[in-house]
Structure 1
């Protein structure tokens, strides 16, 4: 087993921010509840900002309403009164996992999303509530790479003909 620190049999784990052996201080999780009971057509639940990850949106209980995702160029999911089946989709440059089961829906996006996404609710009946959450990096936080690969070529062969050795060059 190789952990996030690339150590074999290491027990190192990523924190909620995706930082190996981090303390969770480089990001924050934003949560909310959309509790507007009635509406007609599409209403905005929340706007997910560019850069957000670990996005989760879920109906609190069964309802015949539909969650939708809208980006800068239009709907990615359940827009214009066209409802899609459960499955994997792409929105905002990230995979979107959409699940409909027993009139309850959930959207999860590992992210990070590359553009702001509006989560919408298409009202059909009274809304029992929609919970949402996402994680976003703290301001002025930049992730520096922990490693960098550089190809330097091969060393000269130790012999001009047969049975010689060659190795990859290493930085000095």
Structure 2
């Protein structure tokens, strides 16, 4: 009977989902990665109080390639793991859990007991929530608890400020600049929300400030002079200067749209009182003796 080749042979798929691919996840859980996008964190736990569960470490969200090793299982010392979603492994006092699996989100934690001497916990990650690791001690530890995991390097946050712009006015203007919150990880920079820097570094530097503050150039107009005629419609003139304080400056220092008028129309009624100004005679009125 014919069987499809896939069932006749062992089918191998890479982390890229392609059959026959040799690509694998690195310790950072990056497909075909080189392991440089994360950092190894490892330590040991060698002291605690017997008869209770002792805190060992909290493994952060996003950690990958997690491994915890306890070589004291024969003595009754065993590991407990708790996440924010509940207890994953926790024996009853001196009685450890048997080999089993548990899940944190969609990621499995494999607990393996080796000949009642050693137990290990492994998870590829990245875990979606932190894990609290504890150890139950029956007496002082003969061999330290070992743990390791990989996490992303700590990002370095900083405010990056640009140059101040040109002042918006020659008097009482404003200058602006760009201020950005930058996250740097392994030399790679990216722009992040301002709130990230504000919560860790401090307030955002000013992005606007006053410039060219002080006395401003303004038009100063003198009073209008006398009307150009003694009788009837004429013109009045006055001087208008652009000044800064008491100092006259070029007119282009002031706003040309707000320049006061230098001349205006005037009407003089002085002639009505002037003897030299004679009334106009009506030619149709006949003069004669009364």
Fold similarity call, TM over 0.5: yes
Residue 98 of structure 1 corresponds to 111
Alignment partners' CA distance in 2, 1:129 and 1:49: 21
SS at match of 2:75: coil
Q: Structure 2 matches for 1:53-72, cutoff 5 A?
A: 53-61=64-72, 62-72=74-84
SS at match of 2:112: strand
Alignment partners' CA distance in 2, 1:103 and 1:71: 25
Q: Could you list the per-position Cα deviations for residues 58-83 of structure 1 after superposition, in whole angstroms to 9, with x for gaps in the alignment?
A: 01455320100122355321156364
Alignment partners' CA distance in 1, 2:14 and 2:69: 31
Alignment partners' CA distance in 1, 2:87 and 2:121: 14
1:18 Cα deviation after fit: 2.4
- 2:57 aligned to which of 28, 46, 49: 46
| Contact kept in structure 2, 1:63 and 1:126, CA below 8 Å | no
Alignment partners' CA distance in 1, 2:39 and 2:14: 24
RMSD: 2.7
The normalised TM-score by structure 1 is 0.68
1:89 aligns with 2:82: no
Q: Structure 2 matches for 1:10-25, cutoff 5 A?
A: 10-25=21-36
- 1:76 aligned to which of 76, 82, 88: 88
Alignment partners' CA distance in 2, 1:80 and 1:53: 28
Change (3 A) 1:129 1:15: same
Alignment partners' CA distance in 2, 1:54 and 1:111: 6
Greater helix percent: which structure? 2
Change (3 A) 1:24 1:78: same
Alignment partners' CA distance in 1, 2:47 and 2:149: 20
Alignment partners' CA distance in 2, 1:92 and 1:39: 32
Residue 135 of structure 1 corresponds to 150
111-120 or 78-87: which moved more?
A: 78-87
SS at match of 1:76: strand
67-76 or 117-126: which moved more?
A: 67-76
1:99 Cα deviation after fit: 1.7
Structure 1, unaligned runs of 5 or more:
142-172
